[in-house]
Amino acid sequence: MPKTDPAAAFMDAGHDHSHCLEAALDRAAALCGERGVRLTLLRRRVLELIWSGHKPLGAYEILDILRTERQGSA
Protein backbone atom coordinates (compact mmCIF):
# COMPACT_ATOMS: atom_id res chain seq x y z
CA MET A 1 0.00 0.00 0.00
CA PRO A 2 1.61 3.32 -1.05
CA LYS A 3 2.23 5.96 1.58
CA THR A 4 0.63 9.33 0.99
CA ASP A 5 1.59 12.64 2.49
CA PRO A 6 -1.10 13.61 5.04
CA ALA A 7 -0.43 17.26 4.25
CA ALA A 8 -1.63 16.65 0.68
CA ALA A 9 -5.18 16.47 2.00
CA PHE A 10 -4.92 20.16 2.92
CA MET A 11 -3.21 21.45 -0.19
CA ASP A 12 -6.03 23.15 -2.02
CA ALA A 13 -5.02 26.10 -4.18
CA GLY A 14 -8.23 27.94 -3.24
CA HIS A 15 -7.88 27.34 0.49
CA ASP A 16 -7.27 30.43 2.63
CA HIS A 17 -5.30 28.88 5.46
CA SER A 18 -4.85 32.19 7.28
CA HIS A 19 -8.64 32.54 7.50
CA CYS A 20 -9.19 29.09 9.02
CA LEU A 21 -6.22 29.63 11.37
CA GLU A 22 -7.75 32.86 12.69
CA ALA A 23 -11.14 31.16 13.02
CA ALA A 24 -9.57 28.29 15.00
CA LEU A 25 -7.72 30.72 17.28
CA ASP A 26 -10.92 32.70 17.84
CA ARG A 27 -12.72 29.47 18.74
CA ALA A 28 -9.91 28.48 21.12
CA ALA A 29 -10.19 31.88 22.83
CA ALA A 30 -13.96 31.47 23.13
CA LEU A 31 -13.59 27.98 24.62
CA CYS A 32 -11.03 29.25 27.12
CA GLY A 33 -13.40 32.04 28.11
CA GLU A 34 -16.27 29.61 28.55
CA ARG A 35 -14.10 27.41 30.77
CA GLY A 36 -12.71 30.25 32.85
CA VAL A 37 -9.12 29.95 31.67
CA ARG A 38 -6.93 32.40 29.80
CA LEU A 39 -5.59 31.95 26.32
CA THR A 40 -2.27 33.63 27.08
CA LEU A 41 -0.06 35.03 24.33
CA LEU A 42 2.28 32.06 24.75
CA ARG A 43 -0.53 29.52 24.52
CA ARG A 44 -1.92 31.31 21.48
CA ARG A 45 1.52 31.28 19.84
CA VAL A 46 1.92 27.55 20.46
CA LEU A 47 -1.45 26.91 18.83
CA GLU A 48 -0.44 29.12 15.89
CA LEU A 49 2.73 27.09 15.43
CA ILE A 50 0.89 23.79 15.61
CA TRP A 51 -1.95 24.83 13.32
CA SER A 52 0.00 26.94 10.82
CA GLY A 53 1.78 24.08 9.13
CA HIS A 54 0.69 20.91 7.47
CA LYS A 55 3.10 18.69 9.33
CA PRO A 56 3.20 17.62 12.96
CA LEU A 57 5.54 19.48 15.29
CA GLY A 58 7.12 17.94 18.33
CA ALA A 59 7.52 19.69 21.65
CA TYR A 60 11.25 20.26 21.09
CA GLU A 61 10.63 21.78 17.67
CA ILE A 62 8.10 24.15 19.19
CA LEU A 63 10.55 25.07 21.96
CA ASP A 64 13.30 25.74 19.42
CA ILE A 65 11.02 28.12 17.52
CA LEU A 66 9.92 29.86 20.71
CA ARG A 67 13.54 30.25 21.83
CA THR A 68 14.39 32.06 18.61
CA GLU A 69 11.40 34.36 19.11
CA ARG A 70 11.78 35.05 22.83
CA GLN A 71 14.64 34.57 25.22
CA GLY A 72 14.13 32.25 28.16
CA SER A 73 11.38 30.08 26.73
CA ALA A 74 11.38 26.76 28.50
Rg (CA), the chain: 15
pLDDT at residue 28, rounded to an integer: 95
In this model, does residue 11 exceed pLDDT 90? no
Is the CB of residue 24 less than 8 Å from the CB of residue 47? yes
In this model, does residue 71 exceed pLDDT 90? no
Q: How far is CA 1 from CA 4, 10, 32, in A?
A: 9, 21, 41
Model pTM?
Answer: 0.70
pLDDT at residue 19, rounded to an integer: 75
* Average pLDDT value for residue range 5-34: 77
Q: How many CB atoms lie within 10 A of CB 35?
A: 7
pLDDT, tens digit (0-9, with 9 covering 90-100), for 23-45 = 999 999 999 999 999 999 999 99
